Amino acid sequence: MKLVLERFAHNALALLAVTTILFFMFRLMPGTPLAAYISENLNADQQQQILEQFGLDKPMWRQYLIYLGNLAHGELGLSFFQRRPVLAILLEVLPNSLILTLTSLTIAYIFGVLAGAWLAWRRGSWVEGVAIPVVLATRAAPEFWIGMVLLAILSFKFGWFPSGGASSPGMVYAGEWQRMFSLDYLHHLALPVFTLALYLQGLPLLLMRSNMLEVMHEEFVTMARMKGLSEWRIVIRHAARNAMLPVVTAFALGIGLSMGGNVVIETVFSWPGIGRLLVQAVANLDYPLAQGAFLMIAAVLAVMNFVADLLYMTLDPRVTHGRRG
Amino acid sequence: MSVPAILEVDNLQIHYRTREGVARAVDGASFSVPEGKIVGLVGESGCGKTTAVRAIMGVLAENGSRAGGRVVFQGKPIDAGNTRPLLWREIAYVPQSAMSSLDPVYTVGEQIVEVLTKRGGAARSAARARSAELFDLVGLSERRLADYPHQFSGGMRQRAAIAMALALEPSLLLADEPVTALDVIVQRQILDTLRELQQRLRLSMVMVTHDISVVAYLCDEIVVMYAGQVVESGPVREVLARPRHPYTMGLRNAFPDLVSDAMELVPIDGSPPDLRETLTGCRFAPRCPFVETACLSHALAPVTTGGHLSACRRDGEADALRAAALRPSTWLRP
Amino acid sequence: MAAAADLGPAVRRLVTMPLRDPFAFAGITIYVVFALVAVFADQLAPLDPLEILFTKAGKLAANVPPGPEFLLGTTNLGRDIYGELIHGTRSALAVGLSAAVVVATVGTVVGLVAGYFGGTIDSVLMRIADMALSLPFLPFVIVLTGFLGASTSNIVFAVALLLWPNSARVIRSQVLTLRERAYVEAARVTGASHWRILFVHIAPNILPLSFVYAAIAIGWAIVTEASVSFLGFGDSTSVSWGYMLQDAFSSQALSRKQYAWFVPPGVCIILVVVAGFFISRGYEEVFMPRLRGR
């Protein structure tokens, strides 16, 4: 329990540090701090309102405290362009990003773990000689480029998938859930998910493979052989179970990391997620929206880091159960 | 020797393929284990003791293979193909380091239950009761069954490993340096436990060790291995009182407890040969204080005198050599 | 004297390693080829990559398919794609190498200092490293380049800012073990100063690790530059592979099936990044055998 609190504190502090960095980054941007918050197309009243809300007339440290206070209340300001609360905009697109990320990661990790274990088993064969460079190439390729190639072939050449967006024009749904489980949505989701999964599978695959190779040489695996346990049981219950530990952690970390990385995938496929929102906000110099989107991504990253810590603790008894003997 | 042998190893050859060529880790070793006796297998590290024991269980590293020889267990020849049904049910193993030999992500209890159910065919509830019994047998509290390996102390972990080895009531126990990693007091306790269990359960046992005092304390028979071969074997008392191979004489000098206190400990100079090279003559010759020119080219086939086997060309002069071996100066290289 | 003895083998292995590991050899070869292309870009592609080309009839040479005149065809604005690709090598290597130098230098110095001195300095540096690692990478680069201006140096700065912690951490842990070695102890006893021990006795043994992280940083920096350019925050004054991909994407090269426009830049990026993987893999095998995937 102490360990859980410790990890929580660690991640919370890291997030606080990120928000602090962000605060000063936006304040220290070229131009006056006001410029970062006030655009010319706001009238005097609105300007005054923002000045007060963010305490921009007060000294820096007061501003910082007000900023933190606003954050704690989920108050992220108004988007310059959409003239709507930033938080509302973010919450609108967040599910799209989460669905994209989670689906791709799940597919990538299931494939990666199985293929990695299989490649460990086929060590030294010609399969390995072909597979490893191919996997390395998928890790090396920019995500958006994989997306472009797949779009060009699967969408523009064969017309199997839509070329972008999350729904076909003119589609109307009774509610969010109906929309997300509609065939149209899934059809739009398929290609981005495939691209992201293709990019992401390399890490779990290589990790699983090298862990398996290492674990198969551990004494407890030899012992399992000496006990006469079946090969299947040795590989799955003992070797794979141990080799999985870092992979599971990498999965949780991957959610946070790929939320950030999705920026490009979402842009290629015009997927209405938080990454694309960030890009548009930065391009439009919509500071409150950009800051909010960035914070949201950083928050997901911090939460997932914490989840990864927790997962590691539950899966590896050496971490949770201290030495007693 | 009227006691029948439970295990006979005859001219065993184990080869490892390495980048630098084939290493003959075990090169024609022969010995047998009489039923209900403890046989000590001694030698420096790298002499093929562990490899020999693992080969008996048919579990070798990927690059290792049995290149020749016979292993006969309870009258039936066994090899990698037919050993598995015997594993743990008839032949069990106690590892040197129970820490790395137990799976870190399962409790010790779960691992014993696994063996009992998957190999012993027991129901889970029966297996749980049996594992409590086993823990009791080796002097551990059954509450510790719920603990993970890393929560045990070194000595307790070895006890847990012994409990695990005894789970299916094997008739032969292969123990590979089971006490080496422990401090002297705990060593003694574990050895006592092992001996008591061995007598109570009428186990036959092979005790692999580099420590000749462990053999003296525990074993009935001794097999001395050097560079993959057996150089001397026989009843412990006889061999240790009247060693006939210079290597055994040297080993005896290198450990306390055995000879008089006045005797200082003298290590044998040098190290065992590289087993990847083609070796001729007596393998101990380069380190032997009694070496003669002929030793370098001709090795003598082992000679057995009254159950005491030795493979030294100068076997006839054993008494004189033994007297010389007691002088530390004999072992000092010019 | 002792210093020379420490320095010798480490540096020698650094140089001879590629000859022993086929992967590292392939990686180095790829680097050398790209470096040559960058150096002789003007000879390989004499045309200015940004020049707008016209056909003999005086019409804009737009979307010309690959052929003998334009090896990879032209863009919708009549630019030579082959020329862009060749000249793009320069900016790729410039971004990659400068990021590698900064990452390796900062990572090595921080790792050395934190590992050797320990205590407060160590904890402060490592906390800063933790903080940098909890920043979302690409969004941070985008915000930075988007607001600070889209220049190559800003991209390098952002990449370096986010990549140094990894190398610093690993180097620190290596220093922790080196610190206890006999020859370091010997140097300490003979009264060598901290800085002397650090830079003469320990640093040379760390060099291979710095090299590994430099190789990794080259790839990261090039991919990051490409991503940032693709998103439209790139340096618009130079032609880079990322710029080409962005140009192709926004000019509907995908629907016009101009594969020769967007496939080659991606392949070049993959080659450079994979070369980095190969080299770091090779060095890890030689210098850190315990990491070897047995």
Domain ranges of chain C: 22-38+100-288
Mutate to test the interface with B, among A226, A248, A249, A319 (most CBs of B within 10 A): A226
Residues of chain B positioned with their CB less than 8 A from the CB of A325: 147, 151-153, 156-157
Residue B265 has pLDDT above 80, yes or no: no
Q: What is the pLDDT of residue A33?
A: 44
Residues of chain A positioned with their CB less than 8 A from the CB of B148: 317-318, 321
Burial class (CB in 10 A: 0-12, 13-18, 19+), B25: buried
For residue B125 the two structure tokens come to: 């509830």
Q: What is the pLDDT of residue A31?
A: 45
Q: Residue B119's Cα: distance from chain center in Å?
A: 25
Domain ranges of chain A: 2-72, 87-324
CATH topology of domain A87-324: MetI-like fold (1.10.3720)
C112-137 per-position pLDDT tens digit: 888 888 888 888 888 888 877 778 88
Neighbors of chain B with 3 or more C-beta pairs under 8 Å: A
Residue with tokens 């239950």: B113
Least confident of A126-130, A185-189, A309-313, C9-13: C9-13
To the nearest whole Å, the CA of A155 is away from the closest chain B CA by: 46
| Contact map slice: B 157-176 vs A, CB within 8 A | 157
Q: Within a 10 A sphere around the Cβ of A117, how many other Cβ atoms?
A: 22
Contact A196, A258 (CB under 8 A): yes
Q: Report all structural domains of chain B as residue ranges with CATH numbers, in order of start.
A: 5-90+170-331 (3.40.50.300)
CB A226 to CB B87 under 8 A?
A: yes
Across the range B91-112, mean pLDDT stands at 89
Residue with tokens 């504190």: A9
The pLDDT-based confidence of B2 (bands split at 50, 70, 90) is low
Helix axes A287-315, A2-27, angle to 10 degrees: 160
Q: How many helices (H) and strands (E) does chain B have?
A: 12, 12
A178-198 per-position pLDDT tens digit: 666 677 777 788 888 888 999
To the nearest whole Å, the CA of A168 is away from the closest chain B CA by: 49
Amino acid identity of residue C274, one-letter, is V
In a 3-state reduction of DSSP, which class is residue C141?
A: helix
pTM: 0.78
For residue A202 the two structure tokens come to: 């390399």
Q: Encode A192-203: b = buried (16+ Cβ within 10 Å), e = exposed.
A: bbbbbbbbbbbb
Q: Is B42 left (phi over 0), alpha (psi -120 to 50) or beta?
A: beta
Q: How far is CA C113 from CA B44, C129, C159, in A?
A: 44, 13, 22
The pLDDT-based confidence of B117 (bands split at 50, 70, 90) is very high
A242-264 per-position pLDDT tens digit: 888 888 888 877 877 777 778 88
Q: Residue A136's Cα: distance from chain center in Å?
A: 21
| Contact map slice: C 142-161 vs A, CB within 8 A | 142-144, 146-148
Amino acid identity of residue B104, one-letter, is P
Contact of A261 with chain C, judged by CB distance below 8 Å, is answered with yes
The three state secondary structure string of C183-224 is HHHHHHHCCCCHHHHHHHHHHHHHHHHHHHHHHHHHHHHHHH
Across the range C262-291, mean pLDDT stands at 75
For residue A155 the two structure tokens come to: 């969408």
For residue A325 the two structure tokens come to: 């003997």
- Better-scored residue on pLDDT, A262 or B94: B94
A128-178 per-position pLDDT tens digit: 888 888 888 888 888 888 888 888 777 777 777 777 777 666 666 666 666
For residue C240 the two structure tokens come to: 């880079």
CB A136 to CB C274 under 8 A?
A: yes
To the nearest whole Å, the CA of B153 is away from the closest chain A CA by: 5
C75-99 per-position pLDDT tens digit: 666 677 777 777 888 888 888 888 8
Q: Which CATH architecture has domain C22-38+100-288?
A: Orthogonal Bundle (1.10)
